[in-house]
């Protein structure tokens, strides 16, 4: 535990991540088993959805069980105050993913990629039982970021520089998805059975993506809706075009380059030891 700038609240980082991983893994491995048993009923989603909600629900337990009014107020403000979103950042977080996808397709063309990748996909690359895929993509962005930005990332940033916190979070976020490779018809299950390296690429790609989402959030004064919108754009950008898995491997390299550019551009933010909450408080006072 370590003290933060919010009324000396001690973030319970280990407790949060252990509880989140244990809950999600238990539900998702059970759901994975059921996904091969219930035919086309999709009942396994009754276990998958609570697992998806675990980061958010455990954040609520941590925040409202803390008995710290400042922590609660801070969470509500970051969730409901849309004025935290910086208009000058809108072009950045609306265009990073679409442009990264288009750049990846262009790079793939001389390497044998098909120009048909610029066409809209005829459908989604995976199925989700009785839950519409588009709705699931939105729910994933919402419930994950409500948890990751509600408690998880702040708890890491209270102990580390923004750079180190981003790296640790992104690696943990990648491992959090691990049970999905065992869920019948899931995106992770489908690609790892096409080629194991496609599966490896998925988990590697999460790391630069996690750093970019964290940066988007902090540049919008820790706005949770900003993180949700960007996360949803990430999800839909992977599905809207007929992009191949080989091109998605190229996309991972593009995202690593984008993350490196962001870190270089904003190195004072990434390597400052100033507490995240103090910085945000000062930002808001200056508005």
Q: Catalytic residue numbers?
A: 144, 177
In terms of phi and psi (left: phi > 0; alpha: psi -120 to 50; beta: otherwise), the region of 30 is alpha
* Nearest one of 224, 222, 238 to 282, comparing CA atoms: 222
Q: Are 14 and 2 in contact (CB under 8 A)?
A: no
Task: Decide if 80 contacts 223 (C-beta within 8 A).
Answer: no
CA-nearest of 222, 235, 206, 205 to 141 is 235
Give dist(CA 253, CA 182) in Å, integer.
Answer: 26
Q: In whole angstroms, what is the distance from residue 66 CA to residue 49 CA? A: 26
- C-alpha distances (whole Å) from 132 to each of 35, 126, 138 are 16, 11, 10
Radius of gyration (C-alpha) of the chain in whole angstroms: 19
């Amino acid at each position: 535990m370590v003290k933060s700038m919010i009324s000396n609240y001690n973030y319970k980082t280990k407790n949060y991540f252990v509880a989140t991983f244990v809950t999600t893994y238990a539900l998702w491995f059970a759901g994975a088993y059921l996904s091969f048993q219930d035919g086309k009923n999709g009942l396994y989603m009754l276990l998958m959805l609570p697992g998806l909600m675990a980061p958010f629900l455990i954040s609520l337990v941590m925040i409202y069980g803390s008995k710290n009014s400042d922590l609660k107020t801070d969470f509500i403000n970051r969730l409901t105050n849309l004025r935290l979103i910086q208009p000058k950042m809108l072009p950045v977080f609306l265009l990073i993913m679409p442009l990264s996808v288009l750049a990846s397709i262009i790079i793939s063309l001389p390497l044998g990629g098909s120009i048909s990748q610029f066409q809209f996909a005829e459908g989604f690359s995976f199925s989700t039982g009785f839950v519409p895929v588009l709705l699931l993509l939105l729910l994933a962005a919402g419930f994950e970021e409500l948890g990751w930005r509600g408690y998880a990332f702040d708890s890491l940033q209270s102990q580390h520089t923004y750079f180190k916190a981003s790296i640790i979070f992104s690696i943990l976020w990648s491992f959090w998805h691990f049970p999905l490779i065992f869920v019948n018809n899931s995106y992770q299950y489908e690609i790892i059975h096409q080629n194991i390296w496609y599966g490896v690429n998925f988990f590697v790609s999460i790391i630069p993506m996690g750093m970019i989402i964290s940066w988007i959030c902090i540049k919008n004064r820790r706005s949770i809706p900003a993180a949700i919108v960007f996360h949803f754009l990430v999800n839909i950008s992977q599905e809207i075009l007929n992009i191949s898995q080989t091109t998605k491997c190229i996309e991972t390299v593009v995202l690593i380059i984008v993350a490196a550019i962001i870190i270089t551009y904003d190195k004072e933010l990434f390597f400052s030891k100033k507490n995240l909450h103090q910085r945000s408080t000062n930002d808001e006072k200056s508005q």
